[in-house]
Amino acid sequence: MQTKNNLMVKVNHPLKNHNTFGLDSTAGGYLRLSSEGQLESLPELIASYDDFLILGGGSNVLLPDFYDGLVVHVDIQRLSHRMSGKDVLVNVGGGVNWHQLVSWAVENGFGGIENLALIPGRSGAAPIQNIGAYGVEFKDVFICLRAFNLETGKFEVYDREECQLAYRDSIFKNELKGKVIITDMWLRLSGRDHQFNLSYGGLKSHLEKKKIGHPEIEDIFQSVIEIRMSKLPDPAELGNAGSFFKNPVLPSRKAEALLNEYPEMPHYVLDDQNIKIPAGWLIEQCGFKGKYSGKVGCYEKQALVLINRGGAGAVDLVTHAGSVQKKVEDKFGILLEPEVNIIHPHLYDQVLKM
């Protein structure tokens, strides 16, 4: 352990417990960021390293076997709320576990994020990814966030428009990638007169099977958990980062041409010009569902999820993902884009298209 700029940095720190793939990755330097008071000295500390990585729950990253730089693990815990008419304004720290936040909201009767139950990771990653599930996205409840700019050394506030939230995308994955640390955010939930989103067919049918005609927050919350557990593996048992690829959004003309060839292909009309195709279906049609190459493969219940059965390295996972990309592109003419953040992706250019 070393002390730099009054910050405690651990040397050659294992990251296996900090990534849901369960990779035996090691950080050259590791800092746990638990308070905003540490941020003042952080820019100078980062400048002493050739590279640095901001890490939350590690639920959407693929780490290299050795990260030769400083890993800043954001663990700022904060959770408070206040009423504003029928709404509830919630302030949550970037290090708060997302599912625990959803559970807290449900327990208190606050609506708006019950569809987002059991999504792994920390709250600070929610705006970065604009996480979404079962008809609801993070942007639907988001007001603004506060972030520390590592270049200016100052705190900045970003509202919904400034965050440029889109499908699994935001300004924090583009212009501001690696430049800011999200410390906390404000969400607007409902305290009464809840408006539930049951647009996702699987959720609606699940409630119908349980003979719940007028669901409450708890009903939706529990149903989402049951659906996710029936389809997705527990990272504690099988290393994974959820959906490895994004669902491709195609121009209507291209999608319609594919539908003429594959009329059974599931699809979702987004607007007059765009249609979304489930990446899991495309991967399954290429024969990857439940297929393993040594220690890695595609989950037998959901082909979109890449699995580490234990002992796999980053290159093993990326090589398998590259094979998936190639076959899907060859068969359907669609290049799947990774949803998982691959650290040092240039190392894998030969096996995975970025």
Which tens digit of pLDDT belongs to each residue from 312-351?
999 999 999 999 999 999 999 999 999 999 997 666 665 6
Query: What is the span of the domain harbouring residue 313?
Result: 249-348
- Please give the model's pTM, rounded to 2 decimal places: 0.88
Is residue 320, in this structure, part of any structural domain at all? yes
Beta strands 142-149 and 274-276 are unpaired
**What percentage of residues in the chain have a pLDDT greater than 70?**
96
Report CA Rg, the chain. Answer: 21
Angle of helix 217-231 relative to helix 201-209, nearest 10 degrees, comes to 110
Is residue 169, in this structure, part of any structural domain at all? yes
Q: Are residues 178 and 131 both part of a single domain?
A: yes
Q: Are residues 301 and 265 both part of a single domain?
A: yes
Q: How confident is the model at residue 4 (pLDDT cuts 50, 70, 90)?
A: low
- The pLDDT mean for the chain works out to 93
Q: Are residues 280 and 343 both part of a single domain?
A: yes
Q: Are residues 91 and 199 both part of a single domain?
A: yes
Which tens digits make up the pLDDT trace of 312-321? Answer: 999 999 999 9
Q: Are residues 69 and 85 both part of a single domain?
A: no
Which tens digits make up the pLDDT trace of 114-148? Answer: 999 999 999 999 999 999 999 999 999 999 999 99
**Vertex 119 angle, CA 243 and 93, to 5°:** 125
- In the chain, at which residue ranges do the beta strands (DSSP E only) sit? 2-4, 7-14, 26-33, 52-55, 61-62, 66-74, 79-84, 87-93, 132-133, 136-137, 142-149, 154-159, 180-190, 249-251, 268-269, 274-276, 292-293, 296-298, 306-308, 341-342
Is residue 240, in this structure, part of any structural domain at all? no
Q: Are residues 202 and 95 both part of a single domain?
A: yes
Positions annotated as catalytic residues are: 168, 243, 339
- Domain end, chosen from 200, 231, 262, is at 231
Burial of 306 (0-12, 13-18, 19+ CB in 10 A): buried
Q: Are the C-beta atoms of 148 and 183 separated by less than 8 Å?
A: yes
Burial of 104 (0-12, 13-18, 19+ CB in 10 A): middle
Is residue 236, in this structure, part of any structural domain at all? no
Q: Are residues 61 and 123 both part of a single domain?
A: no
Residue 168 scores a pLDDT above 70:
yes
What CA–CA distance (Å, rounded) separates 323 from 304?
Answer: 13
Q: Are residues 286 and 323 both part of a single domain?
A: yes
pLDDT for res 201: 80
Order of all β-strands in the sheet with 268-269: 249-251, 274-276, 268-269
Which tens digits make up the pLDDT trace of 25-79? Answer: 999 999 999 999 999 999 999 999 999 999 999 998 999 999 999 999 999 999 9
